[in-house]
Chains A and B, each alone.
Chain A
Amino acid sequence: MADSLFSAAGIEAGYGRVQVLWGAGLDVGVGESVVLLGPNGAGKTTLLKVLIGLMPAWSGTLSFAGKPITGLRTDKRVRLGLSYMSELGVFPGLSIEENLHIGGQFVSKATLRVRMDELYSAFPDLAARKSALAGSLSGGQRKMCGIAKALAAGPRLLIMDEPSAGLSPLFVFQVIEILGRFRSTGLSLLIAEQNVAFLDLADRVFTLENGRIGFEGTVAALHQDDALHRAYFGLG
């Protein structure tokens, strides 16, 4: 297995007195893609919020590239190489170019310019409409813009919350294809999804059920487990 890049252990967190996460933990290796599967309400978004630092963990530890980051502020985590893409993904009232600038706010100007050229060549649809408002893009293009914005930070690990949300199956495959391309450049991915199509990208899978990690292992092992296979893939 690859060296560990990011790990979370024993995370407990919640809102007010309502506890959502009960000792959840996961890890992502260098260059690895991990999919976090779970139904609505399992606590996927809450876990991701704790990982990026938008919510404090009641208990548990987080580390990134060998350093503890448990109490670190979000902007410091982004500087270290964590990047997060929410379901919404973009700032609709800012232009594509401005969205990328926000993503790359901690990167030096010269580096950002080179990186933006790379991103525009990877996303020709965006390159054609740099000054258009992100809100004027189609759902699929908006996701592309969100991915480009997150990648502008030059992250080592890209965390995504349901990239398939609101997309037609055709666009879901486009997103998967694009992510596959960046994965081959050494980027690590952590994707929270309910759409099993994303398992095509995954080296390993974690399932989250009622705030706890249920299954952890390879995609092949997930298929071998009858109960899980039925739960996530239906009877077929």
Chain B
Amino acid sequence: MHRVFNDLGLAVLVVVAMAVAPSIYSNQLLLFNFVMFLSLAQGLNVIYGFTGYLPFGYVGFFGAGAYGFALAVMHLGFGPPGAMAVGAAAAVVLALILTPLFRLSGAYFAIANLAAAQAVYEVVANPALEDVTKGPYGVSLSGVFAPNASYAAAVAILAFTLLLVVWLRNSQFGLSLRAIKEDPISAAMAGVSVVRGRTIAWLLSALIAGLVGGSFAWEVSVFYPETAFSPQFSIFAVVFALFGGTATLTGPLLGVFILYGVYNWIGISVPQYFQLIYGTLIVALVLFLPNGLVSLLTRRGIRVP
């Protein structure tokens, strides 16, 4: 039982820290980015860490959330909470449409997912859809701009995401997902419903990215298709989650705090060495700790939250 409390304790600690951070540190946009990547890395953890499917086009759901939010505000006159719900729904619908991708596995799944995200981007950025999406010219939502409220929304999404991961780590459902990741055939033999488990994890993962995308649209309020569908979101989410170690709560959190911290720190202080330092760090990790930072402890048999 104390395992659950360890997990919950860490989740509460992170959420409270991010909630009070703006009163200590004044760069709220940077803090928002941290909160955003904390949720995105955990959202990716839900699908990759627990089922082994690596969605390289994860940003597709993020972009769907951002554009769902924008379209609901521009065309339906929704307030931010309603628009966030529309964004989340858009991401989940996209995930439903993409469920046939599960017939692929490994690198094929990752690449097909990348292509799918690109396809959504091409549709949104199409000048012919200017009346609907504003095409490549980007959207402006200055009417709903409210950085404090959108920051609070992002922290709430982070809390939801972390609770979800705590539940997955401590529930029978999460255990059946890990069995699927280990060996789908054996899991099916043991009576685990592989398709159902995988689909639920996939939809939950998309839901998180959609919610985060909605909060991003609200926070920045002016953005272009190439911002909302930037491959950088997918890459960062994947790298942060892998750096720390997937299928844990701690891993992706550590990945974001360390790597995104380093990213901002050396990006400002010594930008000329940025690529070199960042690349070396990641290569070293892949070589020496392929299972992430937490494997320093887990391979000694220590359970990390």
Which B residues from 218 to 275 make CB contacts under 8 A with A?
none
Interface pick from A1-9, A29-37, A72-80, A215-223: A72-80
Instruction: Give Cα A80–Cα B176 distance, bound, in whole angstroms.
Output: 19
Contact B182 A78 (CB under 8 A): no
Instruction: Give the CA-CA distance A93 to B177 in the complex, in Å.
Output: 12
Q: Is the CB of B175 within 8 A of A74?
A: no
Q: Is the CB of A54 within 8 A of B188?
A: yes
- Cβ of A204 < 8 Å from any Cβ of B? no
Is A98 in the interface zone, CB < 8 Å from B?
Answer: yes
Q: Does A94 contact B (CB under 8 A)?
A: yes
Contact with A along B164-199 (1 / 0, CB 8 A): 000000001001101101110111111111000000
Cβ of A46 < 8 Å from any Cβ of B? Answer: no
Residues of A contacting B179 in the complex (Cβ-Cβ under 8 angstroms): 91, 94, 102
What B residues does A149 contact at CB under 8 A?
190
- Given A105-B172, A105-B176, answer yes or no on A91-B186 (Cβ-Cβ < 8 Å): yes
Give the distance to chain A from B123, nearest Cβ to Cβ, in Å: 37
Are A54 and B191 within 8 A (Cβ)?
no
Question: How would you classify the secondary structure of chain B's contact residues: helix, strand, loop or mixed?
Answer: helix
Contact across chains for A84 and B190 when beta carbons are under 8 A apart: yes
Q: A101-B172, A105-B172 are in contact. Are A88 and B183 (CB under 8 A)?
A: yes
Known: A98-B175, A102-B176, A102-B179. A86 touches B186 (CB 8 A): yes
- A-side contacts of B190, CB under 8 Å: 78, 84, 102-103, 105, 149-150, 153
**Which chain A residues numbered 59 to 91 have a C-beta less than 8 Å away from chain B?**
73-75, 77-79, 84-86, 88, 90-91
Docked complex Cα distance between A91 and B123 (Å): 43
Q: Mark A92-104 against chain B: 1 for CB-CB distance below 8 A, else 0.
A: 1110001001110
Are the CB atoms of A75 and B191 closer together than 8 Å? yes
Are B185 and A102 touching (Cβ within 8 A)? no
Most buried by A among B176, B181, B189: B189
Question: What residues of B have a CB within 8 angstroms of the CB of A232 in the complex?
Answer: none
B301 CB to nearest chain A CB (Å): 8
Known: A93-B178, A98-B175. A105 touches B183 (CB 8 A): no
Q: Which residues of B contact A (CB under 8 A)?
A: 172, 175-176, 178-179, 181-183, 185-193, 301
Q: A91-B186, A98-B178, A103-B190 are in contact. List 18 more A-B contacts (CB 8 A).
A: A74-B188, A75-B191, A75-B192, A78-B190, A84-B189, A90-B186, A91-B178, A93-B181, A94-B178, A94-B182, A101-B172, A102-B176, A102-B190, A105-B175, A105-B176, A105-B191, A131-B301, A149-B190
